[in-house]
Amino acid sequence: MTDIFHEIPSNPLPEKASGGYFAGFDGKKLRYGRFPAVARPLKGTVIVLPGRNESIEKYFETARNLSERGFTTAILDWRGQGGSERLLRDPQRGHVRDFGDYVKDLDRFFEEVVLPDCRGPYYILAHSTGSLIALLATPSLVNRVRRMVLAAPFFTYTGFPLTMSAIGRIAGVLYWLGLGRMYGAWGPRPRRSPPFATNKLTTDIGRYRRNMELYEKHPKLGLGGPTVAWIRAACRAVDIVQDPEFMQRINIPVMFVGAGNDEIVSTRAIADYARRLRGGQILTIAGARHELLQEADIFREQLLAAFDAFIPGNDEGI
C-alpha cells in the first residue's frame, strides 16, 4: 500500500489497510482508504469525512481507534486535495465549483467502494468542512446511514466581522468577474510549518508535529488557501443547510461536537443549529481547539466516548 498511502515513523499505516482510486461523478480520480476492524464483534462501517486541506493519512490514528472498536473505516480524499486529483493547474489552490460536487462524489464513493466492500450498518464521523458536506448530503444518505457524529462543523467563522451571507455576496461578485480561481484567503502553503505556539488547531504538540512532518515530507498532500470559488461555494452550502425546509428533511440522528476554544469555526453557531434540528444533540468539549480528532487525549477521549455512546454497534456480531 506504500504506492497509495504515505507513512512516516510517527504515523504508521493501520493494519490490513487497503485502498485505491475511484472515479468521481465527472471522472476525476479520487483516492480512498479502507481499514478493516480487528476486534469482534463486527459493528459495521464508519465513513470518515475529512475537513478542508486534510488527507487520509491524517486519520490513520482514528482508523486504528475505530478498528479496535469493531468498525471498518472507509475514508476518501475530497476532490482537489490530499491524494485526489487537483482541479486547477496550481495544485496549491483549494478549489471547488459547488459543494454539490462533493455530495455527488460521496454518492459515488458509496456506490463504488462502501456498499460493495464494507459491512453495514453505516455511520458517519466527520470534521469541519466534512461535517458541512455530510449535512448537505443527508437527503441522499437517509436510507444508507444510521447516525452521524459531526465534529466542529463549519457554519461560520469565529470572530469574523462579516456574516457568511455577506462573505458569499462578495465572493459571488468576484466569481462573476472571472476571479473565481484566485486565492480568496491566505495563499500558498508556507515552505516551513508554523511553530506550534502560533497554531489554532490543537493543544497537542505531538500530534501537531506529526501532522506537520507528514506534509513537509509529502508536500503534494497539502494545500494553500481556498479560492474565491471555494469560499462562494461554502457560503452557498451553509445557506442551504440552514434553510428551515432543508432542516426538516434531515431525518438521520446527529450528534454535534463543538470545541470550547475553537478559534476557526463558531461553536455558538453549532449549538444553535443543533437546538433547531429535530434529532440533533450537542456536546461541547471545554478547552478543546478546532481539530478535535487531532487534540490532546484529555479532549480527544471525550469525543471518542461520545461516539461510543451515540453510535450503537451491530448486536449480531460474528
11-39 residue pLDDT tens: 999 999 999 999 999 999 999 999 999 99
Q: Which residue has the cell 440522528?
A: 253
Residues 216-221: contacts with CB under 8 Å, at least 24 apart? 216/192, 217/6, 217/8, 218/6, 218/57, 219/189, 220/83, 220/91, 221/6, 221/55, 221/57, 221/82, 221/83
Give mean pLDDT, residues 182-187.
89
> Where do the structural domains in the chain lie, given as residue ranges?
18-310
Question: How sure is the predictor about 316, in pLDDT bands with cuts at 50, 70 and 90?
Answer: very low
Question: What mean pLDDT is reported for the chain?
Answer: 95
15: Cβ–Cβ under 8 A, 6 or more apart, which residues? 35, 38, 64, 67
Instruction: Kindly state the helix (H) or strand (E) to which residue 150 belongs, with its residue range.
Output: strand 145-151
* Res 7 pLDDT > 50: yes
The answer for residues whose C-beta is within 8 angstroms of residue 239's C-beta and 6 or more apart is: 164, 165, 168
Average pLDDT over residues 149-175: 93
Q: What CATH number was assigned to the domain covering residues 18-310? A: 3.40.50.1820
The reported pTM is 0.96
Mean pLDDT of the 196-215 span? 97
Please give the full DSSP string across 127-142, using - where no structure is assigned. Answer: ETHHHHHHHHHHHHHT
- Return the minimum-mean-pLDDT range out of 86-95, 183-192, 252-261, 296-305: 183-192
Distance CA 202, CA 208 (A): 7
Residue type at position 297: D
Residue 315 has pLDDT above 50, yes or no: no
Look-up of cell digits 479560492: 227
CA–CA–CA angle 256, 259, 261 (5° rounding): 155
The burial class, CB within 10 Å (0-12 / 13-18 / 19+), for 314 is middle
Q: What's the whole-number mean pLDDT along residues 59-73?
A: 97
Tens-digit pLDDT profile for residues 214-242: 999 999 999 999 999 999 999 999 999 99
Residue 177 has pLDDT above 60, yes or no: yes
- For the residues 96-106, what does the mean pLDDT come to? 98
Q: Is the pLDDT of residue 268 over 50?
A: yes
